[in-house]
């Protein structure tokens, strides 16, 4: 190795000296399922992040529903923009807490790779179709994407990510599924926590969709300022903004409110987590896993405000009649596609048709689910029109 390369490799290692002892350290990782030589100019978790960004599944997120189906408007959030917003929030907290920022970013960017078209409506429909074959859950599918379904590398299927990245992607899991997942399933059987970076990505996901769904719902005209002001978290920010900018128009008013809401929750998350860490005194990531509870957390007061806002969105946005009508339509698309592909596997592209041929029914159904889950909103609609119109 040249002197210059040697210095750079030392610099990559030195980055870990800035991490807290309870953070995920690549030098102490459980590694990759298939061993690989280290990269010369990237840390292991940076490499994971880059593989996720370059994956086919990640690019497809740009045309997958967050709340509004892709064709309903160009300005609404998609799974891709949501994932970027999750990563932005999580990275801020990771730096403040001296956690592993590239690992936090990798988990945040990968957490929705397995999501179906049409968001939770698509997932519910596909789960119903797969009821007799093990069900469908987008979190498990995200792990399946990075472990098996991505086909880019000559030496292995999937992306061959580090254990801690895969652990973070698998946010929840039944004991039955955990027994089949090997290393990443063990913590569910032992009732252990994941590392702090995984805990952080999980809660950053909730912060991002809670606050940004307010923006999209207001933009769509499905929730009003008057309704939102009944929420303590929103109203506190509203009063602050309105007193400072009394004549601000709605578009910028909402943005100023939302960024203050996020600031309030994130600041509370950092301060509360610091208190939890000081109390628990974990000396390593394994101590974090054995802590008995999640250490990355909001205070009770702010969590209650966050939870109340989530319930509000379920009642007034996700259950709005306009949304329910689209939900019914999109569920029908997914169900129809599953039915026709089950009757005739050759209606799928050859890659999937070949994988389904000659397989037992549960395995054949899983191939069909993989194909449908990988679709974007617009592709699912186009396939439905092509086959069934």
Boundary residue ending a domain (323, 343, 372): 323
284 lies in some domain: yes
pLDDT band for position 1 (cuts 50, 70, 90)? very low
Look at the alpha carbons of 288, 292, 298, 299 in this order and tell me if their dihedral is positive or negative.
negative
Same domain, yes or no: 380 and 309:
no
The 8-class DSSP code of residue 162 comes to B
Whether 215 and 246 share a structural domain = yes
The closest of 32, 29, 23, 65 to 146, measured between CA atoms, is: 32
Provide the number of structural domains found in the chain. 2
Q: What pLDDT, on the 0 to 100 scale, is given for residue 89?
A: 97
> What is the C-alpha to C-alpha distance for residues 316 and 224, in angstroms, rounded to an integer?
10
Query: What is the distance between the terminal CA atoms of the chain, rounded to a whole angstrom?
Result: 62
Is the pLDDT score of 3 beyond 70? no
Q: Give the pLDDT of residue 73.
A: 46
Together in a domain, 310 and 376: no
User: Of how many residues is the chain composed?
Assistant: 389
- Confidence bin at 318 (pLDDT 50/70/90): confident
Minimum mean pLDDT range among 9-13, 241-245, 385-389:
9-13
d(CA 108, CA 85): 9
Looking at the structure, tell me whether residues 302 and 334 fall in a common domain.
no
Asked whether residue 297 falls in the same domain as residue 384, the answer is: no
**Percent of the chain at pLDDT above 90?**
78
328 and 276 in a single domain? The answer is no
Neighbouring-strand partners of residue 364: none
Identify whether residues 98 and 232 lie together within a single domain.
yes
Q: Are residue 227 and residue 345 in the same domain, yes or no?
A: no
For position 14, what pLDDT does the model report? 47
Q: Is residue 10 part of a domain?
A: no
Model confidence at 304: pLDDT above 90 = yes
Alpha-carbon span 38 to 29, nearest angstrom = 13
* Residue 338 sits in the same domain as residue 350: yes
For residue 218, is it within any domain?
yes
Distance CA 283, CA 22 (A): 5
E-strand ranges in 182-251 read none
Determine the average pLDDT of the residues in 345-363.
95
Instruction: Specify if 312 maps to a domain.
Output: yes
Q: Calculate the alpha carbon distances from 197 to 29, 37, 182, 203, 269 in Å.
A: 13, 24, 21, 10, 13
Same domain, 119 and 240: yes
The Cα angle at residue 144 between residues 138 and 149, in degrees rounded to 5: 120
- Dump pLDDT digits (tens) for 186-228: 999 999 999 999 999 999 999 999 998 898 888 888 899 999 9
Q: Which one, of 73, 75, 77, lies nearest residue 88 by Cα?
A: 77
Would you state the pLDDT for residue 11?
A: 52
Backbone angles phi, psi at 21, to 5 degrees: -60, -25
Three-state SS at 65: strand
pLDDT, position 322: 78
Within-domain flag for 167: yes
Which residues lie closer than 8 Å to 167 by C-beta, 6 or more apart?
184, 187, 194, 195, 198
Neighbour-count burial for 277-310, b at 16+ CB within 10 Å, e otherwise? beebebebbeebbebeebbbbbeeebbebbeebe
Express each pLDDT in 12-52 by its tens digit: 554 566 899 999 999 999 999 999 999 989 999 999 999 99
The secondary structure of residue 117, as a DSSP letter, is: T
Residue 34: closest CA among 127, 148, 180, 176 = 148
Report the alpha-carbon distance of residue 306 to residue 298 in Å, rounded: 9
- The answer as to whether 5 is a domain residue is no
Question: Residue 293: which residues within 8 A CB-CB, separation 6 or more?
Answer: 193
State yes or no: pLDDT of 321 exceeds 50. Answer: yes
Does residue 228 form part of some domain?
Answer: yes
Segment 131-153 mean pLDDT? 95
Q: For residues 65 and 52, is the Cβ–Cβ distance under 8 A? A: no
Residue 370 tokens read as 């993989």
Mean pLDDT of the chain: 91
CA–CA separation, 270 and 267 (whole Å) = 5
Domain that residue 348 falls in: 324-388
Same-domain check for residues 308 and 331: no
């Amino acid at each position: 190795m040249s002197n210059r390369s040697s210095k750079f490799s030392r610099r990559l290692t030195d980055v870990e000296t800035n991490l807290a002892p309870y953070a995920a350290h690549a030098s102490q990782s459980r590694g990759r399922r298939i061993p690989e030589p280290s990269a010369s100019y990237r840390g292991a978790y940076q490499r994971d992040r880059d593989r996720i960004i370059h994956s086919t599944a990640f690019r497809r997120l740009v045309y997958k529903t967050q709340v509004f189906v892709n064709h309903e408007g160009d300005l609404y959030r998609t799974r891709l923009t949501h994932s970027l917003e999750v990563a932005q929030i999580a990275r801020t907290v990771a730096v403040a807490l001296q956690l592993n920022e590239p690992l936090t970013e990798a988990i945040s960017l990968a957490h929705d790779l397995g999501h179906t078209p049409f968001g939770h409506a698509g997932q519910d429909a596909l789960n119903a179709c797969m009821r007799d074959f093990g069900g469908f859950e987008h979190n498990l599918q995200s792990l399946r994407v990075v472990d098996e379904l991505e086909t880019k590398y000559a030496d292995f299927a999937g992306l061959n990510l580090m254990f801690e990245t895969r652990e973070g992607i698998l946010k929840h899991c039944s004991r039955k599924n955990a027994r089949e997942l090997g290393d990443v399933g063990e913590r569910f059987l032992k009732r252990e926590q994941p590392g702090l970076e995984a805990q952080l990505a999980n809660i950053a996901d909730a912060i991002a969709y809670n606050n940004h769904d307010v923006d999209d719902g207001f933009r769509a005209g499905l929730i009003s300022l008057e309704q939102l002001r009944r929420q303590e978290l929103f109203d506190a920010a509203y009063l602050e903004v309105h007193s400072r900018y009394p004549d601000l128009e709605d578009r910028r008013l909402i943005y100023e409110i939302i960024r203050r809401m996020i600031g309030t929750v994130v600041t509370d998350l950092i301060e509360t987590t610091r208190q939890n860490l000081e109390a628990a005194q974990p000396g390593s990531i394994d101590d974090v896993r054995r802590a008995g509870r999640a250490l990355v957390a909001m205070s009770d007061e702010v969590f209650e405000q966050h939870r109340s806002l989530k319930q509000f969105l379920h009642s007034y946005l996700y259950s709005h009649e306009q949304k329910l009508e689209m939900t019914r339509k999109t569920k029908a698309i997914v169900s129809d596609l599953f039915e026709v592909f089950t009757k005739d596997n050759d209606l799928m592209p050859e890659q999937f048709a070949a994988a389904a041929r000659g397989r037992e029914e549960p395995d054949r159904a899983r191939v069909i689910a993989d194909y449908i889950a990988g679709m974007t909103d617009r592709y699912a609609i186009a396939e439905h029109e092509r086959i069934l119109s």
